[in-house]
Amino acid sequence: MVGGAQTAMQERAQRPERTSTRTCVGCATADGAEGMVRLVVAGDEVVFDLAGSAFGRGAHVHTRPDCIARAPRGLSRSFRREIRVSAPELGAALVAAADRRICGLLLAARRLRALAVGAAAAKDAIGRGAPLVVVASDAGSVASTLEVTRMIEAGSAIAWSTKGELGALLGEQSVAICAVVHPGIAEELVKTRAAADAGATTAKDGAGWNRSPEAR
């Protein structure tokens, strides 16, 4: 019995992990859910469920500006009701949701003692292999140090918020940089930052998607 149980466990471990497939409401292409973000309807409002924890029927969209811009047309079909939202509004909603998600992830890293706050602590964490640094948009000379420059070149850095806002979030007067040492949280931060960038592009340029095909 023990030998049979061990064999079964080994067989399960060798099986490839199943990836959930969803259809993007923007491009109508089936893809892995990990490459998309989820949307739900709360009352009459479409909201992004970036943590994937909201109950009820949901829709998915790639975090690409063209897919987000096309999403309003597919949301009504997906939710089987009239959904009134423009591409710029959807893009702005994604930016706001991403900001909230980034705040939550940074606070989670702080609670887990997986966040090195400040230039000195971040530099030490980078030296010990931290997978990500978060740099304030007004970080100044800190952003041009050798350690941070190398992280940026390696794609292991994201820019977010300001020194004052980052400091207020983390209970400090001002924070120009922090290093995330938790791999899972670091991965989520990168993904969420990319979603915010796509949302910002759609909010800025998405008005054209609301015109008729003849007007384009």
Q: Which amino acid is at 58?
A: G
**Does the structural domain 99-196 have CATH classification 3.30.1330.30?**
yes
pLDDT at position 42: 83
Q: What is the DSSP string of 151-174?
A: HHHTT-EEE-S-HHHHHHHTTSS-
CA dist., res. 134 & res. 148, Å (int):
10
What is the tens place of the pLDDT at every residue in 87-139? 999 999 999 999 999 999 999 999 999 999 999 999 999 999 999 999 999 99
What dotted CATH number matches 12-96?
3.30.1230.10
The ranges assigned to domains in the chain are 12-96, 99-196
Q: Say how many CA atoms lie within 13 Å of 210 toward its Cβ.
A: 15
User: How large a percentage of the chain has pLDDT more than 70?
Assistant: 86
What is the overall mean pLDDT for the chain? 87
